[in-house]
Amino acid sequence: MTVKIFMRKLTALLLNIFVWLFSITCVFPFIWIVYSSLKTNREFSLNIISLPTNPQISNYISLIKDSNMYIAFFNSAYISLISVAIIILIGFITAYTLSRFEFKGRTIIYFLFLSGMLIPRHSLLVPVFIFFRNLGLYNTRYTLFLPYIAFGLPMTIFLMESFIKTVPIEIEESAVIDGCNIFDRLFRIIFPVCKPVISTSLILSFLGTWNEFPFALILIRSTRLKTLPLWLTNFNGQYSTDYTQLMAALVIASLPVIFVYLVFSKRVVQGMTAGAVKG
Amino acid sequence: MNPLTPKKKYIYLMLLPGLVVFIFAVILPLFMSVRYSLYQWSGGSSMEFLGIGNYLTLFSDSQFWHAFRNNLFIVFYSVIGQVGIAFVLASLINSRILKFKKFHRTVIFFPVVLSAVVIGFLWTMIYSRQYGLLNWLLESLNLNFLIKYWLDDPNIVLYSVTAPLVWQYIGLYLVIFLSAMQGIPREIYEVAEIDGATGFKKAIHITMPLLYDTILVAIMLCIAGNMKVFDHIYVMTGGGPGRSSMVMAQYAYNTSFSMFKLGYGSAISMGIFVLSLSLILLSRKVLGGFRNDS
């Protein structure tokens, strides 16, 4: 009997160790980059794994002072924040209309938006490039808004539509009796009720736009308009031997999403699960 | 359904902004692309009408089909790797013997939120011959014979670029499985334990059948997700060395933006569209069909 208990404890221990090892492989590479970015390139090349003996932030300082990374950071922030705000606004109005009212073409429009989650996005790169270039929308300050909003909408509409369906219509009825018009109903009655699904959509669209790369790659050429992922790929071309400098750049580029994940991890996980499974 | 329905024109007005953006950035480019795929065109003013010429070229373009096969390779290993490993981990994390469940879940999900470009660079450094984490690890374990030029050896590069894709998204499938497992009543496991079922048996005979639908959804998701792989490969190898890690999206990109064959690039895009969508729909049909039978 004691042997049996011992064996069971041993198995439990081994399985725990196994999961621990796996967890470590998921974060260690990034942690390695964080502490290595505090080394000089010379120190790094002597021993790639050791902790910095004398941590210094010169890699970060030179990125901020001598490179144009701050422009890319600003561009990413500007495009992500505005895209997300518009995705939420348009997504909310569309989802509300689709879930509340019966009208001609409702099903078609609903499936049109849903198709956005199914259409293979990478097949649109060349078409979107040609189309935008012909219309003079190539390489401008507002170029990326269009694809980012268009590809952010389907998921947002989907999440919000199924949420609004669960909101009882009675709360709107009493509002109408009190003399509310349609916009009051939308923004003063329903919007506050939808807070959970709105914050989920906010986070998901932010992660999506901040991390987006292929559309930025084909639609943006000027350095002053580049977003962070695009800037990183060019930066690497220039400084491919300066490892620790690149590591510092990767850390800076990831800070906002890491922050969002640490603060809202529960919502991120929930939203991604719901969005993925429904999609 | 709703007695408070506003006038028709308001309804359509409310739908207008979303429809305009969506049609403008998704639907119209697709239609335009069908037209451009019928021309030989390098972006300038001269366009030569070829009819279905580009498509005939595409059918016999060994480079394109090579890229397609690479996509299928990546999809295959990702389904096994992502869905398989995630299921094993989820079963373990869901069981009583595991401590620090929340910690593990949070940590394993972490790579999912990082940008694919960052992951690409991260793994380029992991794979680096001289300064890479992987070769360092092999060396410290005295496994020197395994040390390789991970991204420069045409024979293994496809495995090397698949590993980061699998690694990054295991967390996504893990949380999908975990949330589905929460729906399984504890009592079922308890009864099984009284009957003497071990952890492994519980996973195979209870969790797996009850999670059947979720597993199928995860597989479909995995197929759709890995048909569109581009960012990681663009950063790590650009499809190289030679064409050994070329995928469809990278091939369309190279054709259109390095060689400026926009007409042919459009035809390739249509090829990607049809192939990816068929595979996604096919997987839904086949896997969804299983679901109805059982």
Q: Is B273 on the interface with A (CB under 8 A)?
A: yes
| Closest to A172 (Cα-Cα) out of B3, B229, B139 | B3
Q: CATH number for the domain including B117?
A: 1.10.3720.10
Q: Give the pLDDT score at A83.
A: 96
B3 pLDDT above the threshold of 70 = no
Per-residue pLDDT reduced to its tens digit, B103-132: 999 999 999 999 999 999 999 999 988 888
Evaluate whether residue B46 is within a structural domain: no
Mark which residues 49-68 of B lie under 8 Å from A by CB: none
Distance CA A58, CA A62 (A): 6
Contact (CB<8Å) B175/A272:
yes
Evaluate whether residue B30 is within a structural domain: no
Among the partner residues B111, B112, B266, nearest to A126 by beta-carbon distance: B266
Evaluate whether residue B101 is within a structural domain: yes
Residues from chain B contacting residue A22 (CB–CB below 8 Å): 89, 108
Q: Which CATH class is domain A67-278?
A: mainly alpha
Evaluate whether residue B43 is within a structural domain: no
Contact (CB<8Å) A15/B98:
yes
- Range B219-225 average pLDDT: 87
**Band (A84; pLDDT cuts 50, 70, 90):** very high
Per-residue pLDDT reduced to its tens digit, B245-266: 999 999 999 999 888 888 898 9
**Band (A182; pLDDT cuts 50, 70, 90):** confident
ipTM metric: 0.91
Closest chain B C-alpha to A92 CA, distance in angstroms: 10
Share of chain A above pLDDT 90, in %: 45
Contact (CB<8Å) B273/A123:
yes
Evaluate whether residue B96 is within a structural domain: yes
Evaluate whether residue B269 is within a structural domain: yes
Contact (CB<8Å) B11/A97:
yes
The total of structural domains in chain B comes to 1
Contact (CB<8Å) B221/A30:
no
Q: Give CA separation, B14 vs A4, A181, B8, B19, in Å.
A: 67, 14, 10, 10
Domain spans in chain A, listed from the N-terminal domain onward: 2-36, 67-278
- Full residue range of the structural domain in which residue B239 is found: 73-293
Helix intervals (H) in A49-103: 58-66, 69-100
Residue of A nearest to B218 (CA): A277
Residue the block writes with tokens 């969506």: B22
Extract the tokens encoding B170.
């295991």
Residues from chain B contacting residue A208 (CB–CB below 8 Å): none
Closest chain A C-alpha to B80 CA, distance in angstroms: 17
Q: Is B258 on the interface with A (CB under 8 A)?
A: no
Q: Give the pLDDT score at B43.
A: 76
